[in-house]
């Protein structure tokens, strides 16, 4: 986030480090704005408390407050330079940005990558390193937007660099805005005055970017959340205040004071009322942006009884000065501590992580931020500042790549041991469909050391069935053509359909083998996180809104199946996205029964408490740490039972493969030297194929 006092040469009225803000009568013409420093404290407190999970479900609005502040401060600086010197020194501007932002950001990047190498699974390290590289290059927001549309990233642990997305947005804005400002000031001055031209450019940015935000939030949530094109208007709104500050300063004291307190109220309302289900940014983001604009605009008039009475207090000023560094440190501290302890953090541990990150931010501010901002050689020679910035970025990237390269060698290959051999010997018992629990599962709960496994740990996360991209993404609502999603014997005269979400699609390989053997064709209709059950109002936390594409897709598929009239429809889905009710799946199954074909329902597979390949790589000498109890796996959870009961009430035949995945008490990560899961809940295709001897007789019995 941009500092209130950027550096001494550009901001001569800023207080000397260590001095307090001026007291007494407030002047309307101030270079240093203690109200903005305090507002930055509010912004970072909102973000930190929100990320902690302790309170403020809408704490993420603090980032929007930062955007408005940054737009105001940067534009005020550039506009003042333009008015006083008649031009903008791009070299000095970018050198200031490099000195201000890059050193602290690089220190946190390097420290986080090193800590990740120690405490995070080696299988996650390449992704962490990639995020570090994108963060160093100010582009992680685009990477996060792309991953946000990837269903199989939905349950992945958050990146320790996830919070760098806002820094990326700001840096991208900084790269473009001085050029647009010059175009507005000189390119359009023949049609309007300089100030009017700049205001016109800013209004165009606000209108275009806000329209993108409102449009894309409903169709492509992650791109709307992380994109510069949808967030630029927030910085431009602050910029408009900077350009109009002389006129705004003429507000009456009473009106300005009321406006500033109204701004505090708007931000507080957003932080308290918004949560993960809020369609954001969309229309909702207007609330905190308006609040921040109100406070900054009111401060131009310097009302004696405005919100600055609160914001200029010493604790708020201190937190405001440390806000940038604290923002950088707090999120990695939470993520790394959670990874090190391998569990959710308790309140005391969360407070310890946040307290430690605050101390780290104090050290970073004192030893890095403040000295580099005030170093005269860097101020007087912009090329040195630019060179320093380039060197810092290069060092961050190289460090991330070097540490990432060690991750491959850190992934254990596994070693045979007696327990592993015993598990391999009892393989084949799974072919007995009458077994209460597969003996191989029981034996798997006793293995301690990682044996040689299939697939290899480094390949397990990608060991899914070849679905021909027929698993639709979040924003798709139209099923693919039937001919494009056929498996098995595509010229077969009998048709089976696999219908559901990714937990249904995981059976594609095994069912395609069964279909080919019996000369059936298998059609796949699957959509990410979309239950086949008819549950109106289902909310997608990934899209931050009602998952209307799911309802549209499901209705269209059911209509197609009524026309297709397949011989067998196999239904499956993840029960955790649903309310505890059997009515939704019962309604769907009953309607599908009208097609005249047989209906089979494959009960949902267990849900593990960790990413299995990553856990196994992290604990090769005690793989039972990756085992999940049947209670935690949701085997007897009300929602799962309700789904099964609903399917049964709809006259579907039930196939429950739990005895080949879990013992009476536990669900192991490896069975018969096969990695069972490729993440927290999706089976590896290798293991799904090994269950074919169980699936085949069950399906044969249904269709006979």
Is the confidence at residue 309, as pLDDT, over 50?
yes
Is the confidence at residue 26, as pLDDT, over 60?
no
Neighbour-count burial for 297-320, b at 16+ CB within 10 Å, e otherwise: bbbbbbbeebbbeebbeeebbebb
Regarding predicted confidence, which is higher, 253 or 157?
253
Query: pLDDT band at residue 75, thresholds of 50, 70 and 90?
Result: very high
DSSP structure string for 90-136? HHHHHHHHHHHHHHHHHHHHHHHHHHHHHHS-TTTHHHHHHHHHHHH
In the predicted model, what is the mean pLDDT of residues 40-52? 97
Q: Mean pLDDT over all residues of the chain?
A: 87
Please check whether residues 302 and 328 belong to one and the same domain.
yes
Give which of 663, 659, 653, 660 is closest to 698, Cα–Cα. 653
Tokens 């309604």, residue located: 587
- List all residues 6 or more positions away from 184 whose beta carbon is below 8 Å from its beta carbon: 197, 198, 200, 201, 202
In the predicted model, what is the mean pLDDT of residues 317-336? 96
Please check whether residues 614 and 652 belong to one and the same domain.
yes
Give which of 60, 161, 149, 76 is closest to 116, Cα–Cα. 161
Please check whether residues 296 and 339 belong to one and the same domain.
yes
Determine the pLDDT at residue 431: 42
Query: Is 439 a member of any domain?
Result: yes
| CATH code (residue 539) | 3.40.50.1110
Is the confidence at residue 605, as pLDDT, over 50?
yes
In the predicted model, what is the mean pLDDT of residues 227-241? 96
Q: Are 627 and 442 in contact (CB under 8 A)?
A: no
pLDDT tens string 409-452: 566 666 554 433 333 333 443 444 445 678 899 999 999 999 99
What is the rounded CA–CA span in Å between residue 56 and residue 62? 11
Determine the pLDDT at residue 236: 96
Query: Is 211 a member of any domain?
Result: yes
Please check whether residues 431 and 376 belong to one and the same domain.
no
Is the confidence at residue 178, as pLDDT, over 50?
yes
Please check whether residues 388 and 510 belong to one and the same domain.
no
**Percentage of the chain exceeding pLDDT 70:** 89
Determine the pLDDT at residue 200: 87
Is the confidence at residue 80, as pLDDT, over 60?
yes
Query: Is 24 a member of any domain?
Result: no
What is the rounded CA–CA span in Å between residue 526 and residue 465? 13
The angle at the Cα of 201, spanning 198 to 204, to the nearest 5 degrees, equals 150
How do beta strands 545-546 and 598-602 pair?
unpaired
Q: Are 647 and 584 in contact (CB under 8 A)?
A: no
pTM: 0.83
In the predicted model, what is the mean pLDDT of residues 190-212? 85
Task: Mark which of 387, 407, 427 sits at the end of a domain.
Answer: 407
Please check whether residues 368 and 426 belong to one and the same domain.
no
As for how many domains the chain has, the answer is: 2
In the predicted model, what is the mean pLDDT of residues 622-627? 96
- Quote the domain boundaries for residue 613: 418-703
Please check whether residues 199 and 298 belong to one and the same domain.
yes
Query: Is 177 a member of any domain?
Result: yes
In the predicted model, what is the mean pLDDT of residues 557-563? 95
In the predicted model, what is the mean pLDDT of residues 532-539? 85
Query: pLDDT band at residue 1, thresholds of 50, 70 and 90?
Result: very low
Please check whether residues 140 and 224 belong to one and the same domain.
yes
Tokens 């000095």, residue located: 92
Please check whether residues 354 and 437 belong to one and the same domain.
no
Determine the pLDDT at residue 154: 54
Query: pLDDT band at residue 542, thresholds of 50, 70 and 90?
Result: confident
Please check whether residues 373 and 503 belong to one and the same domain.
no
Most confident of 244-258, 435-449, 568-582: 244-258
- Token output for 597: 């074909």
Task: Mark which of 379, 407, 435 sits at the end of a domain.
Answer: 407
In the predicted model, what is the mean pLDDT of residues 496-509? 96
Determine the pLDDT at residue 14: 39
Task: Mark which of 375, 407, 439 sits at the end of a domain.
Answer: 407
Is the confidence at residue 608, as pLDDT, over 90?
yes
Query: Is 3 a member of any domain?
Result: no
Please check whether residues 300 and 268 belong to one and the same domain.
yes
Please check whether residues 488 and 356 belong to one and the same domain.
no
Query: Is 681 a member of any domain?
Result: yes
How do beta strands 545-546 and 486-488 pair?
unpaired
SS (H, E, C) 543-584: CCEECHHHHHHHHHHHHHHHHHCCCEEEEECCHHHCCCCCHH
Is the confidence at residue 539, as pLDDT, over 60?
yes
Query: Is 655 a member of any domain?
Result: yes
Is the confidence at residue 9, as pLDDT, over 60?
no
Q: What sign does the dihedral 166-168-170-172 (CA atoms) show?
A: negative
Query: Is 268 a member of any domain?
Result: yes
Determine the pLDDT at residue 254: 95
Residues in the chain: 704
Of 214-218, 291-295, 619-623, 696-700, least confident by mean pLDDT is: 214-218
């Amino acid at each position: 986030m941009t500092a209130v006092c950027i550096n001494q040469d550009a901001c001569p009225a800023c207080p000397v480090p260590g001095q307090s803000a001026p007291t007494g009568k407030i002047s309307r013409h101030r270079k240093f704005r203690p109200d903005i420093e305090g507002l930055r404290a509010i912004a970072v407190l909102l973000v930190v408390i929100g990320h902690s999970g302790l309170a403020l479900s809408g704490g993420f609005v603090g980032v929007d407050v930062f955007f408005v502040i940054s737009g105001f401060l940067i534009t005020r600086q550039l506009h003042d330079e333009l008015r006083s010197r008649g031009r903008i020194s791009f070299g000095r501007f970018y050198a200031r940005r490099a000195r201000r932002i890059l050193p602290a950001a690089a220190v946190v990047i390097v420290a986080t990558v090193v800590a990740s190498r120690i405490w995070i699974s080696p299988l996650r390290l390449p992704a962490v390193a990639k995020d570090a590289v994108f963060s160093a290059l100010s582009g992680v927001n685009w990477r996060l937007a792309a991953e946000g549309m990837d269903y199989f990233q939905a349950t992945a642990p958050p990146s320790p660099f996830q919070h760098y997305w806002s820094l990326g947005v700001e840096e991208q804005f900084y790269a473009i805005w001085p050029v647009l400002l010059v175009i507005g000031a000189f390119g359009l001055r023949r049609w309007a005055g300089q100030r009017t031209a700049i205001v016109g450019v800013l209004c165009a940015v606000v209108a275009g970017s806000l329209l993108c935000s409102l449009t894309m939030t409903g169709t492509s949530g992650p791109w709307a959340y992380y994109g510069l094109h949808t967030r630029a208007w927030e910085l431009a709104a602050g910029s408009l205040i900077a350009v109009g500050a002389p006129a705004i300063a003429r507000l009456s004291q009473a009106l300005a004071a009321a406006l500033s307190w109204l701004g505090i109220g708007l931000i507080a309302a957003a932080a308290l009322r918004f949560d993960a289900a809020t369609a954001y940014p969309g229309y909702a983001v207007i609330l905190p942006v308006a609040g921040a604009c109100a406070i900054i605009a009111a401060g131009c008039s310097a009302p004696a009884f405005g919100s600055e009475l609160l914001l200029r207090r010493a604790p708020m000023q201190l937190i405001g000065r440390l806000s940038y560094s604290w923002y950088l440190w707090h999120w990695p501290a939470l993520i790394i501590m959670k990874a090190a302890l391998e569990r959710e953090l308790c309140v005391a541990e969360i407070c310890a992580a946040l307290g430690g990150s605050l101390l780290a931010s104090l050290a970073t501010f004192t030893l890095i931020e403040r000295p580099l901002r005030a170093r005269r050689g860097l101020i007087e020679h912009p090329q040195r500042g630019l060179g320093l910035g380039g060197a810092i970025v290069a060092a961050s990237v190289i460090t991330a790549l070097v540490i990432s390269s060690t991750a491959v060698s850190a992934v254990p290959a596994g070693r045979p041991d007696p327990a592993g051999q015993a598990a391999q010997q009892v393989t084949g018992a799974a072919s007995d469909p009458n077994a209460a629990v597969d003996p191989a599962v029981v034996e798997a709960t006793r293995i301690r050391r990682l044996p040689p496994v299939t697939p290899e740990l480094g390949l397990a996360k990608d060991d899914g069935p070849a679905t021909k991209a027929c698993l639709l993404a979040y924003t798709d609502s139209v099923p693919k053509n039937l001919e494009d999603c056929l498996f098995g014997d595509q010229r077969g005269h009998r048709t089976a359909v696999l219908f559901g979400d990714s937990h249904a699609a995981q059976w594609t390989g095994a069912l395609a083998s069964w279909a080919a053997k019996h000369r059936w064709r298998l059609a796949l209709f699957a959509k990410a996180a979309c239950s086949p059950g008819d549950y109106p109002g289902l909310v997608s936390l990934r899209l931050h809104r009602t998952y209307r594409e799911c309802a549209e897709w499901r209705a269209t598929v059911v209509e197609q199946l009524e026309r297709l009239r397949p011989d067998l429809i196999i239904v499956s889905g993840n029960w955790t996205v649903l309310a505890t009710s059997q009515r939704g799946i019962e309604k769907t199954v009953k309607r599908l029964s009208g097609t005249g074909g047989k209906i089979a329902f494959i009960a949902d597979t267990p849900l593990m408490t960790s990413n299995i390949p990553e856990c196994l790589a992290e604990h090769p000498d005690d793989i039972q740490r990756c085992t999940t109890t049947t209670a935690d796996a949701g085997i007897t959870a009300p929602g799962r039972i309700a789904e099964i009961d609903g399917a049964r009430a709809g006259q579907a035949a039930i196939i429950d493969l739990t005895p080949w995945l879990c013992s009476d008490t536990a669900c192991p990560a490896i069975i018969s030297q096969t990695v069972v899961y490729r993440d927290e809940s999706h089976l590896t295709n290798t293991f799904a194929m090994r269950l074919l001897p169980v699936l085949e007789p069950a399906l044969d019995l249904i269709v006979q």
